[in-house]
Amino acid sequence: MRGMVPPDPSTTVSQPHYAVVFVPRRSRKRFAASCVTLKETREDAIAAEDIENKRYAAIVIGPSKSSEGQFIYYLSEWLGHF
């Protein structure tokens, strides 16, 4: 994805994480860090999913710093229910 820093095995920058993402519609591919809640496991992310409140389980890659200076995460894949 354009702008994404690829995962680096020697650092913790831009690594894949399980997460719950607050997003108004799932067509977005990047999210501000304030919209992402990291989880320890895939099961934790799926259990914390709350579709009625627009919180979806996902695997995200990040954090990366955007050109505007904000920390962001990129969508790798959606998990859970749709």
pTM reported for the whole predicted model: 0.83
Rounded Cα gap, residues 27 and 70, in angstroms: 20
Q: Is residue 57 part of a domain?
A: yes
Q: Is residue 7 part of a domain?
A: no
pLDDT band at residue 53 using 50, 70 and 90 as cut-offs:
very high
Rounded Cα gap, residues 82 and 76, in angstroms: 16
CB contact at 8 A, 79 and 42: yes
Q: Is residue 2 part of a domain?
A: no
pLDDT digits (tens, 9 = 90+) for 19-39: 999 998 888 899 999 999 999
Q: Is residue 9 part of a domain?
A: no
Query: Domain span at residue 63?
Result: 15-78
Number of domains present in the structure of the chain: 1
Q: Is residue 21 part of a domain?
A: yes
Q: Is residue 1 part of a domain?
A: no
